[in-house]
Amino acid sequence: MVTLLIGKKGSGKTKRLIQEANAAVEASKGCVVVIEKGAKLTYDLTHKARLIDTDAYSIKGYDTLYGFISGICAGNYDVTDIFVDSTFKIAGNNNDELIAFVNKLNVLADEANTAITLLVSSSKSDLPADIKATLEEM
């Protein structure tokens, strides 16, 4: 299942991601992966979570991010949770591409039995109604 954690900049999305990722590590019998742009969460997350900086792999755009997340799921069968911080900074702020991305991720999440959480700097009213994900507003 895909969850969108939405809110304007400075609303506490990243702080909540840190809390949820650390809690997921404690509850998970597998691996928890956190994907971010830049290396700002290094000291906030438990060392048991796999932290990946998209800049190190030149990830830009929704297709590249989807392929990267698919590769993570394919390369490790026991990934239980994936968190993506700053989705718009990594992939761009395009609602049509976001809808297609979330729809593809829903299929992947079901097939891989992985919970995927995306942090999106936007209000609920700014997002298209076609997004098939759980929206959690900050």
Identify the three-state secondary structure at position 115.
strand
Q: What angle do helix axes 62-75 and 95-112 make, rounded to 10 degrees?
A: 10
Domain boundaries, position 62 = 2-131+133-137
Q: How many domains does the chain have?
A: 1
CATH of the domain at 24: 3.40.50.300
The whole-model pTM stands at 0.93
Closest listed residue to residue 33, CA positions, set 70, 73, 77, 83 = 83
pLDDT in tens, the chain (138 residues): 899 999 988 889 999 999 999 999 999 999 999 999 988 888 899 999 999 999 999 999 999 999 999 999 999 889 999 999 999 999 999 988 999 999 999 999 999 999 999 999 988 888 888 887 787 776
CB 45 within 8 A of CB 94: no
